Amino acid sequence: MLFGQDIRVAKLPANQPKAQPHAWGERLKLMLMLGPALAVILFLFIGGLGLALLQSLGYLPFIGRTDLSVEAYRTILSREEFYRSLLLSLWISLASTGLATGLAVGSALVLRQHFRGRRWVMFIFQLNIPIPHLVGAVGILFLFSQSGFLARLAYLAHLIDAPGDFPALVFDRYAIGIILEYLWKSTCFMGVIVLAVMQSVGEDYEQAAQTLGANRWQRLRYVLLPLIMPGILSASILVFAFTFGAFEVPLLLGQRYPSALPVLAYRYYTDVDLNFRPEAMAVSVIISAFVTLLIFVYVRVSRGISRR
């Protein structure tokens, strides 16, 4: 029987090609199920990006421009306004992502503990995640502007002589109002992700380090943070890419000049002179290229961390 079993096992590879039609059917079924999502990605995202690239090269047949050139990129890269907007966008993204990451890790460390009322605290913590950024921007405007609620409250408390003496936190050169809105929104988003990663890792490694004499800070620095670093990087790259490419919050809370890079592209695009359209698309392509480069760097860094 053992010899017969060996023969039957040896004959299995010869029978495998008969199962190929079934495998192809499964693959076709999978492709059909993914078809709508792939269609959205191909036609909306890649198609829109391709159209933006063509228009950035000067292809505007509706106004009689069909020759391709890089004149729009030369014009954009020669303007001081572009570099000021780029630096402002980098400042907003870096400050928002860095502060949100620190607050998210601290919040996740607190929420992973077992205490009375933890469910209610967790519910309140993630309550603002479904709220749109535009609603949060309006709230920041009503609260922190020099004619807002806090300025009037400080005036009634005789802390300032007039509401106009309240510190300029909106429409300011340091984009504090924009950073506050992104911080309010992103901290909870990142905190939920980091908390989920912490819960998946568990506490076994920390307990093992504790038995070997590691204190709380050493367990956090040398055990927990390296384990959850891929989750922190993935959440932070999402926040950075969004804050770098979003325009509605900087448009509502930012100053006129210099404005964030997406706002600059939006103003070029909505200009009555259609000859500004290639420059608007050139700025949009530069934003997309920068975010793509950032994602590539993140993948390389995350792979290196995973290997270590």
> Cα Rg for the chain, rounded, in angstroms?
27
Q: What end-to-end distance do the CA atoms of the chain give, in Å?
A: 49
Beta bridge partners of 290: none
pLDDT band at 234 (very low <50, low <70, confident <90, very high): confident
pLDDT band at 4 (very low <50, low <70, confident <90, very high): very low
Higher pLDDT, 109 or 20: 109
pLDDT at 2: 40
Among residues 257, 244, 205, the alpha carbon closest in space to that of 227 is found at 205
pLDDT band at 100 (very low <50, low <70, confident <90, very high): very high
Percent of the chain predicted with pLDDT > 70: 90
DSSP 217-267: HHHIIIIIHHHHHHHHHHHHHHHHHHHHH--HHHHHHS-SSSPPHHHHHHH
For residues 123 and 112, what is the distance between their CA atoms, to the nearest angstrom?
14
Among residues 150, 151, 144, the alpha carbon closest in space to that of 170 is found at 144
pLDDT at 20: 54
* All domains in the chain, ordered by first residue: 80-135+185-307 (1.10.3720.10)
pLDDT at 91: 93
65 DSSP assignment: B
For 4, the token pair is: 């017969």
For 247, the token pair is: 């325009």
Higher pLDDT, 178 or 50: 178
Please state whether the peptide bond connecting residue 250 to the residue before it is cis, i.e. omega within 30 degrees of 0. no
Question: What pTM value is reported for the model?
Answer: 0.79
- Which residue is associated with the tokens 């014009």? 75
Higher pLDDT, 9 or 209: 209
Across the range 294-305, mean pLDDT stands at 73
pLDDT at 6: 45
- Which residue is associated with the tokens 């603002």? 128
Q: Do 229 and 150 meet the contact criterion of CB atoms below 8 Å apart? A: no
pLDDT band at 104 (very low <50, low <70, confident <90, very high): very high
pLDDT band at 9 (very low <50, low <70, confident <90, very high): very low
Cα angle value 148/152/154 (rounded, 5°): 120
Q: Of the given ranges (46-60, 102-116, 144-158, 267-281), which has the lowest mean pLDDT?
A: 46-60
Q: Convert the pLDDT of each residue in 39-92 to its tens digit.
A: 777 777 777 788 888 888 887 787 777 778 888 889 888 889 999 999 999 999
pLDDT at 5: 44
For residues 89 and 247, what is the distance between their CA atoms, to the nearest angstrom?
10
